[in-house]
């Protein structure tokens, strides 16, 4: 499993693709297919191994950011103009705020247009939480800044030093300030878990509920399933009214007919007793 993830990273680097997105989607595919083709002991070992690697990588990222922030050479180049540094850092931070909002709020609005039930829509408080939580930037931003403005890890050019130090300032500010304020903001904007559980349990299950695509129609009597299938609209009408549900419906048909029988997956490989993942997922089958 580790070699497959590393292979996706190497292929992305070879073809000049985004290695981060490549590994991310590789993880999605492996979770859907590969995870169900290994034994229970392999799943436990893999789970703890990746958790350990993730923890070590996170420590390394913050060590890298902290040690690089105290690299005196690039700060000495712009030491005579601290006001310019503050101004450039403020502009960068403002552009990050505006850019993040330009994606989160319009996409949430478009998503809400396809949902009729109020409890299925993304309300404004949830949108603010998503917008705020995505503002923290770390080692990736610094690596991009170094890749763009220097090739040796340091620079003597004033303009390049200004951009690198401004990036470090934004990273430190967003990590410390936004990171410390995320938890209080979530408590302020989002309902408590008890209230959320009560809301979800009180809402009726509808064909467009976020739970229905997971459990399907297996809990319904055969007559109700036949009536539901008889009332199913045409494919074009489904796509226009509920595009997300329509795409999911046809993907599940394709996945069950071709992908999972070939590559394996839940329900298409022998059940492994005792696996925490399988036990949690088996109740949806």
Distance from C-alpha of 45 to C-alpha of 40, rounded to nearest angstrom: 9
State the pLDDT at residue 209: 42
For residues 75 and 186, membership in a common domain is answered with yes
CA distance 182 to 244: 30
The reply to whether 132 falls in a domain is yes
Q: Mean pLDDT score of the chain, rounded to an integer?
A: 76
| C-alpha to C-alpha distance for 82 and 68, rounded to whole angstroms | 18
Question: 258 lies in which domain range?
Answer: 206-282
pLDDT band at residue 221 using 50, 70 and 90 as cut-offs: very low
**Where residue 119 falls among pLDDT bands split at 50, 70, 90?**
confident
Please tell me the predicted confidence (pLDDT) of residue 244.
59
Domain shared by 259 and 184, yes or no = no
Same domain, residue pair 160 and 78: yes
The reply to whether 47 falls in a domain is: no
Of residues 52 and 180, more confidence is placed in 52
This prediction has a pTM of: 0.58
Q: Which residue has the higher pLDDT, 140 or 129?
A: 129
Same domain, 174 and 213: no
Domain count, the chain: 2
- pLDDT score at 198: 52
* Same-domain check for residues 224 and 277: yes
**Quick check: is 151 in a domain?**
yes
The residue out of 192, 222, 251 marking a domain boundary is: 192
Q: Distance (Å, rounded) from C-alpha 86 to C-alpha 7?
A: 42
Judged against a pLDDT cut of 80, whether residue 203 lies above it is answered with no
Q: Does 78 share its domain with 164?
A: yes
Q: Is the domain of 226 the same as that of 276?
A: yes
In a domain, 85, yes or no: yes
114 within a domain of the structure (yes/no): yes
Which of 166, 192, 218 marks a domain boundary?
Answer: 192
- Do residues 177 and 116 share a domain? yes
Binned at pLDDT 50, 70 and 90, residue 182 comes out as confident
- Asked if the model's pLDDT at residue 279 lies above 60, the reply is no
What does the pLDDT look like over 227-275, one tens digit per residue? 444 455 555 555 555 555 677 788 888 888 888 888 887 766 665 555 4
Residues 129, 240 within the same domain? no
Considering 126, 159, 192, which residue would you say is the last residue of a domain? 192
Residue 78 neighbours by CB under 8 Å, 6+ apart: 84, 85, 158, 161, 162, 165
Q: Supply the DSSP string of 153-212, one letter for each residue.
A: S----HHHHHHHHHHHHHHHHIIIIIHHHHHHHHHHHSPPHHHHHHHHHHSPP-TTSSSH
Q: Per the domain annotation, does 65 fall within a domain?
A: no
Question: What integer pLDDT is reported at residue 8 of this predicted model?
Answer: 93
In the predicted model, is pLDDT for residue 226 greater than 60? no
Q: Which is higher by pLDDT, 65 or 129?
A: 129
Please indicate, yes or no, whether residues 99 and 147 belong to a single structural domain of this protein: yes
Residue 188 has pLDDT above 90, yes or no: no
Indicate if 177 and 227 belong to the same structural domain. no
Q: pLDDT confidence of 142, banded at 50, 70, 90?
A: confident
pLDDT tens across 1-25, in order?
A: 889 889 999 999 999 998 889 999 9
Distances (CA, A) of 11 to 22, 33, 140, 205: 9, 20, 19, 43
User: pLDDT over 70 for what percent of the chain?
Assistant: 72
Position 5 in a domain:
no
Residues 187 and 76 in one domain: yes
Position 210 in a domain: yes
47 pLDDT exceeds 50? yes
What pLDDT is attached to residue 40?
Answer: 82
């Amino acid at each position: 499993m580790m070699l497959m993830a590393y292979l996706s990273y190497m292929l992305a680097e070879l073809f000049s693709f985004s290695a981060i997105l490549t590994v991310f989607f590789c993880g999605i595919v492996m979770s859907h297919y590969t995870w169900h083709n290994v034994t229970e002991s392999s799943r436990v070992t893999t789970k703890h191994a990746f958790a350990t690697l993730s923890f070590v990588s996170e420590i390394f990222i913050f060590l890298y950011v902290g040690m690089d922030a105290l690299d005196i050479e690039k700060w000495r180049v712009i030491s005579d103009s601290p006001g310019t540094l503050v101004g450039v850092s403020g502009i960068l931070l403002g552009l990050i705020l505006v850019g993040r909002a330009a994606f989160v709020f319009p996409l949430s609005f478009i998503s809400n247009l396809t949902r009729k039930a109020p409890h299925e829509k993304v309300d404004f408080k949830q949108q603010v939480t998503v917008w705020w939580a995505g503002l923290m930037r770390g080692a990736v931003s610094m690596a991009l800044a170094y890749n763009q403005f220097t090739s040796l890890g340091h620079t003597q050019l004033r303009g390049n030093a200004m951009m690198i130090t401004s990036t470090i300032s934004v990273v430190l500010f967003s990590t410390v300030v936004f990171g410390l304020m995320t938890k209080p903001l979530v408590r302020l904007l989002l309902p408590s878990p008890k209230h959320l559980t009560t809301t979800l349990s009180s809402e009726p299950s509808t064909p467009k509920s976020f739970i229905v695509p997971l459990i399907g129609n297996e809990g319904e009597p055969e007559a109700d399933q036949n009536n539901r299938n008889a009332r199913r609209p045409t494919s074009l009408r489904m796509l226009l009214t509920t595009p997300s549900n329509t795409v999911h419906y046809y993907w599940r048909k394709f996945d069950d007919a071709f992908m999972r029988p070939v590559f394996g997956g839940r329900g298409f490989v022998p059940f492994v007793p005792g696996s925490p993942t399988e036990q949690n997922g088996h109740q949806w089958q």
